[in-house]
Structure 1
Amino acid sequence: MKKQHFLFPVVASLFLFACTLDSERPTDVKYISNTDPSWQQHLSQLKKIHAYTNQGQLGYISQQERFSTRFAWQYHNPTHYRLTLSSTLSRTSLSIEVRNNIMQLSDDKGPLRSAQEAKRLLREIVGMDLPLDQLALWLKGQPDENNAYQVGENHLLAHFSYPVNNSLWTADYLSYHPYPLPLPKDILLKTAGQTLKIRIDNWTY
């Protein structure tokens, strides 16, 4: 099964999905202490969100290719979640569901195949090393407190670095939705040779 069946190439002028997310990390961000009371209160509220859904747009850039796709994320618990990618130019879709650490892939025509090595299968089919195990926290703007992270002047997560399978990922939180509980809107994820631009349009939790 060739991954090109599930990628949705677009021309460069459309790639940034009508927003101005820069592929370079911001350099003018000012940080505050991780012990800031407002941040600690926000972090406590994030930890109470155990299940949630969101939808938005995802842009991927590597030296070999680039594509843009709509996404829908449904998170129930660490062993049960679902990511659906859908073309912005056609009705093509790819759903990646994990239950009990077993991944099942399906498209708009039905099931494809499953495997226990979820990360390897995702890389083979979709063509990118998306760290699904960490995505649930990253989308919420909740850092791993055992790794380095930085809080911005808005008292929200601004940046972190996180090692995944011998690769270092960085995340920059560029903007937040002003919900009663602020949640990420624009996120820039980078690792060696790969950039993911995530825009979250809405949240349910």
Structure 2
Amino acid sequence: MKFSTSSILKACCMLFVIPLLNGCVLSDISDQRPTEVITIDKSDPQWQQHLSRIKAIGHYQNQGQIGYISAKERFSSRFEWQYQGPQNYRLKLYSTVSSTSLMLQRHQSGLTLTDNKGNRRSERDAKLLVREIIGTDIPLEHLAQWLKGQPDENSNYQVGENHYLAGFSYNAEGALWTADYLNYHTQLTPALPKDILLKHSDQTLKIRVDNWTF
């Protein structure tokens, strides 16, 4: 059964508002970009080795929490991300205190949104559907690399003294995004991001990745 934009917004409200009643949007991750970051040269051999390792991860999945803040709204949700390729990935958003969930699935013909009641909507234009749900154009096509801590090598990015990606700025279809990598799961090989702060204009997206499988 297909459903309308109003149904999408109602489902989003049910999903996202409930977690906010229990606390702030990932309050232990700052809303502000760090200012005192020590960086090293991009030619650093350890960074180049690390970059090669994360590039080699073509299929992976992770779980965690995502928080969104703008001048008009705030929400928080658990997420599960599974990536198999540029035309085959899915993002599940769900509440920990109710059965409400939304599944965004990318396929050859576009993007499909499905809720836990079996209602669904498909769009050839993935950006249009994401914009209706969240209110901003999150570049899903880049998210797969950004989650791994893999920058576009033609972008303006910085390498931290830990030899991992520290941050970058990237222009996606006229919108300037910045990302800061605040913490890593250093027990993994290669180390993969734990806390990420993404910003665009007056919008902030906080991501905490709890678990990685690759």
Kindly indicate whether residue 183 of structure 2 is the aligned counterpart of residue 183 of structure 1: no
- In 1, are the aligned partners of 2:60 and 2:213 still within 8 Å (CA)? yes
Q: 1:38–1:163: structure 2 CA closer, same or farther, 3 Å change rule?
A: same
Distance 1:33 1:13 in 2: 42
Q: Equivalent residue of 1:110, what SS?
A: coil
Matched, 1:192 2:198: no
Q: TM-score, normalised by structure 1?
A: 0.95
RMSD: 1.4
Name the residue aligned to 1:20: 28
- Superposed CA offset, 1:80-113 (max 9, x none): 1000000233211000000115101100011411
2:40 equivalent in structure 1: 32
Task: Note the residue ranges of structure 2 that are not aligned, 5 or more in a row.
Answer: none
- Contact 2:25/2:68, CA 8 A, preserved across alignment: no
Structure 1: distance between partners of 2:66 and 2:203: 13
**Alpha-carbon distance change, 101 to 148 in structure 1, aligned in 2, over 3 angstroms:** farther
Q: Which runs of 5+ in 1 are unaligned?
A: none
Q: For the residues of structure 2 that align with 1:119 and 1:74, how far apart are their CA atoms?
A: 18
1:177 touches 1:183 (CA, 8 Å); kept in 2?
Answer: yes
Q: Number of residues paired by the alignment? A: 204
Q: TM-score, normalised by structure 2?
A: 0.91
Q: Which stretches of structure 1, 4 residues or longer, exceed 6 Å deviation after superposition?
A: none
**How far does the alpha carbon of each residue in 1:119-178 deviate from its partner, in whole angstroms, 9 at most, with x for none?**
111111233321101000000000000111000000000010001121100000000001
Could you tell which deviates more after superposition, 125-134 or 102-111? 125-134
Q: Residues 81-160 of structure 1: matches in 2 within 5 Å?
A: 81-160=89-168
Amino acid at match of 2:12: F
